[in-house]
Amino acid sequence: MNRDEIKKLLPHREPMLLLDEVEIDAEGRSVARYTVRGDEFFLQGHFPGNPIVPGVIQCEMIAQAAVALLPDCAGKTPLYTGLNNVKFKNPLLPGDTAVMTVELTNRRGIFCFAKGRLEANGKLCTSAEFSFALLAKPQ
């Protein structure tokens, strides 16, 4: 999926759309990529002269990558309901291409449960387990 196809599923738009492409691998996991350009809003002031992608943004990238696993999310708003066992191992920097790998672990109605990881340059940056709800948009 390219950015235009991702926008058909995710309600996020620039500057909060944090995926460049998404595909499903042979194991049925979502594999997404985002190249950090260096001019993103979240790098302004984090940190001057030493920009590092904030951990909360990395968690958001992982969560957005779950979209390809949920074709029924089109027209709905995904909202975090939980974030567990988050680990930050290496920084994500401008020029890096973040590779997010996500798998669904369970689903109950509107509630989805997943685990994912974000790697760059062959190194683990962030891993997390998370849950979210797919809410219908108000009419």
Active site residues: 46
CA distances for 6 relative to 66, 76, 91, 111, 125, angstroms? 11, 13, 26, 20, 23
User: Three-state SS for 13?
Assistant: coil
The number of beta carbons lying within 10 Å of the beta carbon of residue 134 is: 18
* Residue the block writes with tokens 């974030």: 83
Q: Which residues pair with 102 in a beta bridge?
A: 30, 116
Q: How far apart are CA 22 and CA 110, in angstroms?
A: 22
Whole-angstrom Cα Rg for the chain: 14
